Structure 1
Amino acid sequence: MKVNWSGVMPAVTTKFTADDKLDFNMFEVNLKAQLEAGVSGIILGGTLGEASTLLEEEKTQLVRETVRMVDGKVPVIMNIAEQTTRAAILAANKAEEDGAIGLMMLPPMRYKATDHETVTYFSEVAKSTSLPIMIYNNPVDYKIEVTLDMFEEMLKYDNIQAVKESTRDISNVTRIINRFGSRLKILSGVDTLALESLFMGSDGWVSGLVDAFPRETVAVYKLAKAKRYDEALAIYRWFLPLLELDINSLLVQNIKLAEVYTNIGTEFVRAPRLPLQGDERARVIAIIENALKTRPTLPDYLNL
């Protein structure tokens, strides 16, 4: 199966039981909702997937079970977030062995690599795997920016194919298109800039709130690509208070709480994370409840 690097790709949450085990029953409930809504791929092991808390054997279970549940309907993509080049190569090879069809890759964790070190890191992994790669460019959170000049060096590797564009600079979409044309696919990685990014020419959207609201997310994407801009914008304006829950340090707890309210998730997170409490919990619940009260009627977006 080929990864087209377009459409909506959920960065799915990892589901846990009350006793801190992987909860594949609820995970399958959510996965089914994503597939029925029309997503184009499933991304595992990102920030929302609480990857830094997962044991290596749990990552293997997660990939293998997801591949089984998806059953070839869409690509399964595994995130690589490692501290060393050697560990990243091993993780990429293990993901391929477990059945992943593509990789999303962060720059080196914890160490603020230089431009040359970052390019070498991505390049060495690209040379070690046959899987297509999407570079996650998020200098706001991870302190390393992958510049256009750095991409120029890396694009000699055919399997470096896409960027999850999370610089927060909407003009960067145009810069990438002007520089590389269609050679580097662009997926918006910031929920609150997703429609703007699509209007500027992005190919897809790696979303967080899709985990709780899959149909609305895919509808916005499909309507925008069909040039039904007013309809896309109306849904997006309704969606924005929810989307802002993604650009918050408590995004995992926020989105898992939203999944509870839409009946496709649980609130269990892995310590040291804890579920929301007090005033912040009440604030997020108010946003979710208001969104549910005013939830829009969607057009037949799957047949656009």
Structure 2
Amino acid sequence: MMIHWEGVMPAVTTKFTSNDELDLVTFEKNINAQMEAGVHGIILGGTLGEASTLVQEEKEILIKKTLLITDGKIPVIINIAEQSTKQAIAVAKHAESVGANGLMILPPMRYKATDFETVTYFAEIAKNTSLPIMIYNNPIDYKIDVTLEMLEDLIKYDNIQAVKESTRDITNVIRIKNRFGERLKVFTGVDTLGLESLVIGADGWVAGLVCAYPAETVAIYKLVKAGKIEDALNIYRWFMPLLELDISPQLVQNIKLAEVATGIGTENVRAPRLPLQGLERDRVLNIINTAMKNRPSLPDYKNL
């Protein structure tokens, strides 16, 4: 499947039972809700997916299950976050062999690679797969900045096609578009900059709160792209307290609580993560409950 790098692509959560096993029933319910809302792709195995806690067998089950649910209607993209180039290449090859449609790749984990090492890491993966690739640039969390100069070196590989831009410097969207035009598609990866990034030219949104609120997220995207900024802004203002739950070390717990509220998830996380406790739990639930009481009616965004 050819990937059109545009639109809303949720970084989906992994669903667990109370016995710490994969909950494929709830997982399917959530993926179906995403598709019904009109998302443009599914991203598996990111931070929200608690990928670092999953064993290889579980990752493979989730890939195959997602491909079965989506049935070729939207692309399924696998996140790669590995410590070694060798293992990253192995993950890329495996993803391709089981039918994944694309890759989202982080820089090397647990080692602050130089610019040259980082470019070489991405390049070696690109050379060993035919799958299209989105580079994930998040120096805030992962301490490596993929600069414009590094991207200049990487675009010689045709399958490097997009960037998930999470520097928090929104003008970087414009810098990338000015430098590379349509050669590199740009996705915002910061929920609290979603609308702004789309307005100034981002092609899409790799979103977090979409896991609980897929229709609202896709509606904002569609309205912005249709030039209906004020309509999009009305939804976005309501959404902002929820979106701020994404920029927290406990984003997984926060978003899973929101999924409970909308009926498309459970609160179960995998240790060392634990469900929220005490005053912090009360604070997050208050944000979610307030949002649910004031949830906006959406326009017919699918037909824009």
For the criterion TM > 0.5, the same-fold answer is yes
Q: Does the alignment pair 1:202 with 2:202? A: yes
Q: Does 1:22 align with 2:30?
A: no
Q: Structure 1, residues 180-219: CA drift from partner, whole Å, max 9, x if none?
A: 0110000000000010000110000000000000000000
Q: Runs of 4 or more off by more than 3 Å in structure 1?
A: none
Partner of 1:250: 250
In structure 2, distance between residues paired with 1:9 and 1:58 = 22
> Where do residues 289-300 of structure 1 align in structure 2 (5 Å cutoff)?
289-300=289-300
Counterpart of 1:38, as a letter, is: G
Q: Deviation digits for residues 87-125 of structure 1, max 9, x if unmatched? A: 000000111112110000000000000000000000000
SS of structure 1 residue aligned to 2:182: coil
Q: In structure 2, the residue corresponding to 1:9 is in which secondary structure?
A: strand
In structure 1, what is the Cα distance between the partners aligned to 2:18 and 2:293? 29
Partner amino acid for 1:114?
T
Question: Matched residue of 1:182: which SS?
Answer: helix
Aligned to 2:137: 137
Query: Across the two proteins, how many residue pairs are aligned to each other?
Result: 304
Looking at structure 1, the residues matched to 163 and 181 of structure 2 have their Cα atoms a distance apart, in angstroms, of 13
**Alpha-carbon distance in structure 1 between the residues aligned to 2:161 and 2:78:** 15
TM-score, normalisation: structure 1 = 1.00
Q: Distance in 1 between matches of 2:20 and 2:292?
A: 29
Cα distance in 2 for residues equivalent to 1:233 and 1:130: 39
Give 1:237's aligned amino acid.
Answer: R
| TM-score w.r.t. length of structure 2 | 1.00
Q: For residues 97 and 208 of structure 2, what CA distance do their matches in structure 1 show?
A: 27
2:59 matched residue in structure 1: 59
After superposition, what is the alpha-carbon deviation per residue over 1:62-99, rounded to whole angstroms, capped at 9, x for unaligned?
10111011111100000000000000000001111121
Whether 1:181 aligns to 2:181 is: yes
Q: 3-state SS of the aligned residue for 2:172?
A: helix
SS at match of 1:135: strand
* In structure 1, C-alpha distance between the alignment counterparts of 2:148 and 2:61, rounded to whole Å: 36
1:157 corresponds to which residue?
157
Rounded Cα–Cα distance in structure 1 between residues aligned with 2:138 and 2:157 = 21
Measured on the aligned residues, the alpha-carbon RMSD in Å equals: 0.4
SS at match of 1:141: helix
Offset of residue 5 of structure 1: 1.0
Structure 2 residue aligned with 1:221: 221
Residue 176 of structure 2: SS of its match in structure 1? helix
Residues 215-266 of structure 1, C-alpha deviation per residue, up to 9 Å, x if partnerless? Answer: 0000000000000000001100100000000000100000000000100000
**In the TM superposition, what is the alpha-carbon distance from 1:177 to its structure 2 partner?**
0.8
Establish whether residue 273 from structure 1 lines up as the match of residue 273 from structure 2.
yes
CA–CA separation in structure 2 for the residues paired with 1:284 and 1:264 = 18
Partner in structure 1 of residue 236 of structure 2? 236
Alpha-carbon offset, residue 303 of structure 1: 0.3
SS in 2 for 1:181: helix
SS at match of 2:135: strand
Identity of aligned residues (%): 70
Q: Which amino acid in 1 is paired with 2:181?
A: G
Counterpart-to-counterpart distance in 2, 1:157 and 1:299: 41
Kindly state the Cα deviation for residue 49 of structure 1 after the two structures are TM-superposed: 0.2
Indicate the residue corresponding to 1:282 in structure 2: 282
- Secondary structure, aligned partner of 2:240: helix
Distance 1:303 1:59 in 2: 35
2:141 and 2:278 map into 1 onto residues whose CA distance is 26
Partner residue of 1:262?
262
Tell me the distance in 1 between the aligned counterparts of 2:24 and 2:69.
10
The amino acid of 1:158's aligned partner reads D
Q: CA separation in 2, counterparts of 1:63 and 1:14?
A: 11
Aligned to 2:45: 45
- Gap runs ≥5 in structure 1: none
Match of 1:110 in 2: 110
